[in-house]
Amino acid sequence: MYHNNDISNIILFVNIVPAKHYIVFNIVHQLVQLRIQQLLQYINRQRQLLPTLSVIDCHSENILINSTTRGTGGIIGWSNLSIIVDCSILNTQIESTLVVGGISGFQNNNSMIISCQSDHNSLNSADCVGGIIGNTNITLTQIKNTSSQNCNITSTGSVAGGILGISGTVTVDSCFVNYLSIISGTQSGGMIGITFNYAGSIIIQNVTVQNIIMQSLIGNSIGGIIGIVYLDTFINKAKIYNITICTNQFATGAGGVVGYSLSNMKIVNCVVNNLNINSTSGSGGIIGYSNITTIINCSVTNSYINSTSNIGGIIGYQIANTTVVDSQTLIQNASVRNVSLSSVSSYYCGGLIGYYNSSIHDLSINASTINSIAITSKAQQAGIIVGKSLLTLYSVTNSGSDGVNTINNVVQANCDNFIFTSNVKGC
């Protein structure tokens, strides 16, 4: 017979957000003699429900998969309430018509991916591809200590991501993406292609994206972390290094962290270095197209951003949001250093923000620095801090090259015949 306080002697490896879902990872010494079946029955009675599928320490290598179904993965095609731990897929090619993931094609309802790897794989679909998961449903998914490396990820229609293609509510923690080629018709990200407009939010923290080439075949929304955001999103401690983003001539929204945001964003403690963007409209070192946004303690260095219009060292284009009142965009302790911003044929180019297209929401820029940048604009409205703003008054406080209102080593050109040459090559 067990007592309620026995549960305190169990080390729980994971806790899926409805608190009633648990998986047992270890048992302390005094419970070692208990039979596992009895223990699971006890926890089941206490917690009412266990996950329907647990996959632990499974590995797939040198496999070719051709599928015409929706939901194809190297370990799991489609499942509910899954916990996948210490699994890997290596040297595998997956071809499908719809929804492909390196580990799992489709995950529903409170699933978890922990310590899994996708390495040296080719993942291809007409729509929706993720290096780890192709598509997650509305309810919570958690992905932790997981990596996607040395892979070719291609979605000829739309949506591709280094970790997730399409995401509902998700937490991504301590994940790593390295040496990926991501090609998508539209909507691609180093971590997530698109977050859908469900209830809930997105949390991404302690992640690294590096050595990535992302290309858009058709159009919009490419970001170093997320392509396009429809859910409230919090990104903390993201490192983005050596990223190249190329879009076609009709694209909008390319950013070092997020391509296109249609929801509230908070981005803190993020570093973007060696970013190379060639796009059409709305390109920024942190966000291409932005909604109501807070950006704190973020930096963009050694980068080249080229676009026909709406270019900023932090935000390319700030969307005019008429549905959210009493709100503001805040940029605080941001740094733009050794960056080239080039708009050679159109308009709106700024060291921090290209175009602030709102006259009803506050803009506050505080304690931010701009050093050694070059702004090239052959059209109209280029500025060291903001290219164009519809606000009649906005706040810029303690911002400059050294925390005061001075800016050193800045070349601003809003006239013809200014030429800036960079050693960073485009696409």
pLDDT band at 24 (very low <50, low <70, confident <90, very high): very low
> Three-state SS across 313-355?
CCEEEECCCCCCCCCEEEEECCEEEEEEEEECCCEEEECCEEE
Q: Is residue 338 pLDDT above 50, yes or no?
A: yes
In terms of residues, how long is the chain? Answer: 427
Q: Is residue 149 pLDDT above 90, yes or no?
A: yes
Give the tens place of pLDDT for each residue, 390-402. 665 455 665 654 3
Give the tens place of pLDDT for each residue, 59-106. 999 999 998 888 899 999 988 878 899 999 999 999 998 999 999 999
Q: Is residue 115 pLDDT above 70, yes or no?
A: yes
Under a CB-based contact definition with an 8 Å cutoff, are residues 6 and 42 in contact?
Answer: yes
Residue range 149-168: mean pLDDT, rounded = 95
CA–chain centroid gap for 367, Å, is: 26
Strand order in the sheet with 192-195: 76-80, 104-108, 133-136, 164-167, 192-195, 226-229, 258-261, 287-290, 315-318, 353-356, 386-389
Under a CB-based contact definition with an 8 Å cutoff, are residues 329 and 364 in contact?
Answer: yes
Under a CB-based contact definition with an 8 Å cutoff, are residues 114 and 144 in contact?
Answer: yes
Q: Parallel, antiparallel, or unpaired for β 117-119 and 147-155? A: parallel
Give the tens place of pLDDT for each residue, 184-193. 988 999 999 9
Give the residues across from 253 on adjacent strands. Answer: none
Give the residues across from 340 on adjacent strands. Answer: 304, 374
CA dist 134 and 99 (Å) reads: 5
Under a CB-based contact definition with an 8 Å cutoff, are residues 189 and 156 in contact?
Answer: no
CA dist 165 and 138 (Å) reads: 14
Residue range 194-207: mean pLDDT, rounded = 87
CA dist 261 and 192 (Å) reads: 13
Q: What is the pTM of this model?
A: 0.82
127-136, 327-336, 360-369: least confidently modelled range: 360-369
CA dist 61 and 15 (Å) reads: 30
Residue range 127-139: mean pLDDT, rounded = 89
Percent of the chain topping pLDDT 70: 73
Structural domain boundaries of the chain? Answer: 4-47, 55-413
pLDDT of residue 281: 85
pLDDT of residue 413: 33
Residue range 236-246: mean pLDDT, rounded = 97
Q: Which two tokens stand for residue 410?
A: 């800045």
Burial of 22 (0-12, 13-18, 19+ CB in 10 A): buried
pLDDT band at 197 (very low <50, low <70, confident <90, very high): low
pLDDT band at 199 (very low <50, low <70, confident <90, very high): low
pLDDT band at 414 (very low <50, low <70, confident <90, very high): very low
pLDDT band at 379 (very low <50, low <70, confident <90, very high): low
Contacts of 219 (CB under 8 A, 6+ apart): 185, 186, 247, 248, 250, 251, 252
